[in-house]
Amino acid sequence: MKLTRNNVAVFFLAAAVAIPALAQSGTDVYKSKCLMCHGVDGLAATNVGKAMKVTSFKDPAVVKSTDAQMFAVIKNGKGANMKPFAGKLTDGQIKSVVAYIRTLQK
């Protein structure tokens, strides 16, 4: 393929759009998608978390769950209250959120 100004412009435009999505950290995803129910500390002590009886991330069952199990819950949802994020978050974003949640469990 011959490099032209248009090709170079398209490349940089695509990179400018893709990089922020790739750079979104688990912290950022958590703040935008999880915070309202699970709270800053993951204890689910928010009004919404209490009303929906959201489980704390420090609950022994959650602490003992594997990263793959947590990934599946985030991606596919669980019960009536935990809606699936498949199609809303990439697998990479979900993995980064799981890693962030693990920091809240310490």
* Global confidence as pTM: 0.76
Average pLDDT over residues 82-86: 96
**Cβ–Cβ < 8 Å for 48, 36:** yes
What is the chain's mean pLDDT, rounded?
86
Condensed to tens digits (0 to 9), the pLDDT of residues 34-72 reads 999 999 999 999 999 999 999 999 999 999 999 999 999
Residue 26 structure tokens: 């688990």
Query: Cα–Cα distance between 29 and 50 in angstroms, integer?
Result: 21
Q: Does the pLDDT at position 21 exceed 80?
A: no
What is the percent of the chain with per-residue pLDDT over 70, rounded to a whole number?
Answer: 78
Give me the domains of the chain, ranges plus CATH numbers: 25-104 (1.10.760.10)
Identify which has the larger pLDDT, 93 or 5: 93
